[in-house]
Amino acid sequence: MESINVRIDHGDEQRCTPGVTILEVLKIQHPDLFKSAVAAEIEGRLVDLIQVLDRDMNLRIITTDEPVGMGVFWHSTSHVMAQAVKSLFPETKLAIGPAIEGGFYYDFALDRPLTTDDLPRIEEKMREIIKKAQPFVRNTLSKADAIAFFEERGEHFKVEIIQEFPDDIISVYFNDGFADLCRGPHLPSTDYVKHFKLLNIAGAYWRGDERNAVLQRIYGISFPTKSLLDAHLRQLEEAKKRDHRRLGKELDLFSFQVEGPGFVFWHPNGMILYNTIQNYMREMFFKHGYQEIRTPIILNETLWHRSGHWDNYKENMYFTSVDDQAYAVKPMNCPGGLLVYKNSPHSYRDMPIKMAEMGLVHRHEKSGVLHGLFRVRQFTQDDAHVFCMPDQLETEVIRIIDMITEVYEAFGFFQYQIELSTRPARSIGDASMWEQAEKVLQSALNRKGIPFEINRGEGAFYGPKIDYHIRDSIGRLWQCGTIQVDFSMPERFELEYVGADGERHRPVMIHRAIFGSLERFIGILIEHYGGAFPIWLAPVQCVVIPISEKHRDAASDTMTRLTESGLRCRFDARNEKMGYKIREAEMQKIPYMCIIGDRESQDHTVSVRKRKTGDVGSRPVEEFIATLKEEMARRTSD
């Protein structure tokens, strides 16, 4: 019998018998890979491990160490879940069940609403299926046969999907009596799915369209080892502990009230954060050559017609009337800023003009999307508009990039991802302007040596943009900053400047925000720091704790001294033991505690306890103040 040559992962060629499966080859030749392999890649195509080898080829083995491999793993788990649901509730119709970034889901249509109480039952059934080690078998059918097959099974969602496929070859995976339309590849058998957990249930529309049927979605996660699953669940726990809604309550930062859903009530502690951050941003405005303006919250409706918001943004706006005239509450700051620009003539000598505004905007978000500080209906933008001459555009973009970097680093964000979004299908302005602006943004990023991804067709209708996604301390990405070139507004508002030639010219406008929404950014900071703010942001920086009543006066003096030097302190003179007060200060995540007992009141020192670290010894009050001041100035976290 002839043999074939197979090369695995760029290794040596191996002689194999035709008809052998990849799995069989691995088992004998690569026992280590055999353990972690989930699929293989042949000439750029993903295939099952039970694929039969019938000719010479190069193979790449996909393991769970790479995202693609985890995708296969999760996808197979979602099949097992669907199989379990189908066996528990036979009338269930299957929609789709893909692997997603952190796990998988499957959408079902069934009459009975699923609840979290059903999850253990489904998990139990899944364990049975896994135990049986049912092989996943791939079959290919013609389009017509596939439609007939799923029609017979009453799986009309599958039929709908197949009908839209361009090719005539449809793959279906079988294990035991379960069959699912699937591109594959899949794990060789169900027992590869070792450790899993179903996480939650939610509603989802068929194809994400609210006009379609509502399906029930189950989310889950799985891993090849228990320790990986446990680590993942711990990470979810960690994220839960950092949830800014929870910390906002625990640290008494803000609240929401039924009287104003989506509108933040800032408490005194939260106000410290809010103002500290805002003051910091003001410093940055001036340091980077911005002038600050403030424009009204409600403005005549005609302005919003002119700006285009009426046509493009009406659904998200609030309206009111003043003296029988129609007014609108601003959802964005730019029109107001444009009016300020237009209020006086401008010379090329003044350009660029950089106007910043801490603008309070209102946007009517659908009730279902409100989410703590992350999605609110009223928020403050650290907005700015840069009006410049076309040849200044690149320099200004680079200056903005530098400013954004500086600001993020002050908050401990050193990693971010950047996307450049280009002209969308529906847009205004001529092609050469777009091309020019896209080139400018790209070249600015290149000159700063910042890697970025291009998001084709995702730009705003009025111009291309750069978006920043910052990575927080537990690895999550948050979209914050944005730099947008705008051709539309200067046109609509007929902005002008007088050039060196004495003629009137149209300026280019850049919109930029660094935090985006101050509310949202504070939410991100709360989660990023887990509520343990660096001292410059901490609402309370130090608690003064007298050990007993007789140290009260000495402690009070210390307290006065600290307050006078501008530190935000709290005096805990309650009739409680020191340990009790320390515990409370730790739970409130206050960075420093000053303990005053006999020794300290005698030598005018303080016994310093640092959050998380514990007792760090005694020192003179003045020395302690100097240390704190220095730490504040450095804006370090811990």
Partner RNA sequence: GCUGGCGUAGCUCAAUCGGUAGAGCAGCUGAUUUGUAAUCAGCCGGUUGUAGGUUCAAGUCCUAUCGCCAGCUCCA
Residues 49-88 that bind RNA (CB under 7 A): none
Nearer to RNA, 183 or 634 (CB): 183
* Interface pick for RNA out of 34, 89, 174, 205 (rule CB under 7 A): 205
Min dist CB 114 to RNA, Å, is: 7
Catalytic annotation on 325?
no
- Among 83, 134, 381, 484, the active-site one is 381
Our finding on whether 301 is near RNA (CB under 7 A) is no
Q: Running DSSP on this structure, what letter comes out for residue 458?
A: -
Q: Tell me, residue by residue from 605 to 624, as one string, x for binding to RNA by CB under 7 A and - for no binding.
A: --x-x--x-xx--x------
* Interface pick for RNA out of 288, 371, 505, 604 (rule CB under 7 A): 371
Catalytic annotation on 511?
yes
What ranges make up the beta strands (E) of 51-127?
Answer: 52-53, 57-63, 93-94, 99-100, 103-109
Q: Measure the CA–CA gap between 297 and 277, rounded to whole angstroms.
A: 22
Which range of residues in 398-406, 469-477, 517-525, 544-552 is near RNA by CB under 7 A? 544-552
Sequence-distant (6+) residues with CB within 8 A of 596 are 544, 545, 546, 547, 551, 554, 555, 558, 606, 607
Q: Which two tokens stand for residue 30?
A: 């690569």
Q: Which two tokens stand for residue 196?
A: 């899993």
Q: Which two tokens stand for residue 399?
A: 């200056």
* Interface pick for RNA out of 233, 340, 428, 578 (rule CB under 7 A): 578
Sequence-distant (6+) residues with CB within 8 A of 273 are 253, 522, 525, 533, 537, 539
- Among 186, 330, 511, 611, the active-site one is 511
* Interface pick for RNA out of 67, 203, 268, 289 (rule CB under 7 A): 203
Q: Which two tokens stand for residue 170?
A: 């449809």
Q: Are strands 103-109 and 99-100 parallel, antiparallel or unpaired?
A: antiparallel
Determine how many CB atoms are found less than 10 A away from the CB of residue 166.
5
Our finding on whether 576 is near RNA (CB under 7 A) is yes
Nearer to RNA, 296 or 614 (CB): 614
Nearer to RNA, 7 or 246 (CB): 246
Q: Which two tokens stand for residue 249?
A: 């309550």
Surface-to-core class of residue 394, CB atoms within 10 Å of its CB (0-12 exposed, 13-18 middle, 19+ buried): middle
Our finding on whether 111 is near RNA (CB under 7 A) is no
Catalytic annotation on 27?
no
Our finding on whether 209 is near RNA (CB under 7 A) is yes
Min dist CB 602 to RNA, Å, is: 8
Min dist CB 408 to RNA, Å, is: 23
- Among 465, 512, 520, 561, the active-site one is 465
Catalytic annotation on 363?
yes
Instruction: Tell which positions 236-255 bind RNA, by CB under 7 A.
Output: 245, 249
Our finding on whether 597 is near RNA (CB under 7 A) is yes
Evaluate the omega torsion of the peptide bond into residue 185 and state whether it is cis, within 30 degrees of 0: yes
Nearer to RNA, 161 or 228 (CB): 161
- Among 16, 182, 334, 569, the active-site one is 334
The H-or-E segment that residue 13 falls in is strand 13-16
* Interface pick for RNA out of 138, 310, 586, 619 (rule CB under 7 A): 586
- Among 383, 467, 486, 572, the active-site one is 383
Nearer to RNA, 241 or 550 (CB): 550
Which range of residues in 21-29, 206-214, 415-423, 506-514 is near RNA by CB under 7 A? 206-214
Q: Which two tokens stand for residue 210?
A: 């609210």
* Count of chain residues binding RNA (CB under 7 A): 73
- Among 385, 423, 581, 611, the active-site one is 385
Residue 393: which of 336, 447, 431 has the closest Cα? 447
Q: Tell me, residue by residue from 181 to 200, as one string, x for binding to RNA by CB under 7 A and - for no binding.
A: xxx----------------x
Which range of residues in 51-59, 352-360, 380-388, 569-577 is near RNA by CB under 7 A? 569-577
What ranges make up the beta strands (E) of 76-194?
Answer: 93-94, 99-100, 103-109, 137-142, 169-175, 178-181
Q: Are strands 453-455 and 465-471 parallel, antiparallel or unpaired?
A: unpaired
Min dist CB 4 to RNA, Å, is: 27
Our finding on whether 600 is near RNA (CB under 7 A) is yes
Catalytic annotation on 16?
no
The CA–CA distances, whole Å, from 518 to 38, 316, 318, 341 equal: 45, 19, 20, 25
Catalytic annotation on 520?
no
Our finding on whether 261 is near RNA (CB under 7 A) is yes
Catalytic annotation on 484?
no
- Among 125, 244, 354, 363, the active-site one is 363
Burial of 44-73, coded b for 16+ CB within 10 Å and e otherwise, reads eebbbbbbebeeeeebebbbbeeebbbbbb
Surface-to-core class of residue 243, CB atoms within 10 Å of its CB (0-12 exposed, 13-18 middle, 19+ buried): middle
Our finding on whether 593 is near RNA (CB under 7 A) is yes
Nearer to RNA, 508 or 543 (CB): 543
* Interface pick for RNA out of 210, 311, 323, 501 (rule CB under 7 A): 210
Q: Tell me, residue by residue from 412 to 451, as one string, x for binding to RNA by CB under 7 A and - for no binding.
A: ----------------------------------------
Q: Measure the CA–CA gap between 365 and 375, rounded to whole angstroms.
A: 8
In 243-354, alpha helices (H): 244-250, 268-287, 301-307, 309-313, 334-342
Nearer to RNA, 321 or 473 (CB): 473
Evaluate the omega torsion of the peptide bond into residue 224 and state whether it is cis, within 30 degrees of 0: no
Q: Measure the CA–CA gap between 337 and 359, rounded to whole angstroms.
A: 10
Which range of residues in 222-230, 332-340, 386-394, 571-579 is near RNA by CB under 7 A? 571-579
Instruction: Tell which positions 87-106 bind RNA, by CB under 7 A.
Output: 96-98, 100-102
Min dist CB 327 to RNA, Å, is: 23
Q: Which residues belong to the active site?
A: 334, 363, 381, 383, 385, 465, 511
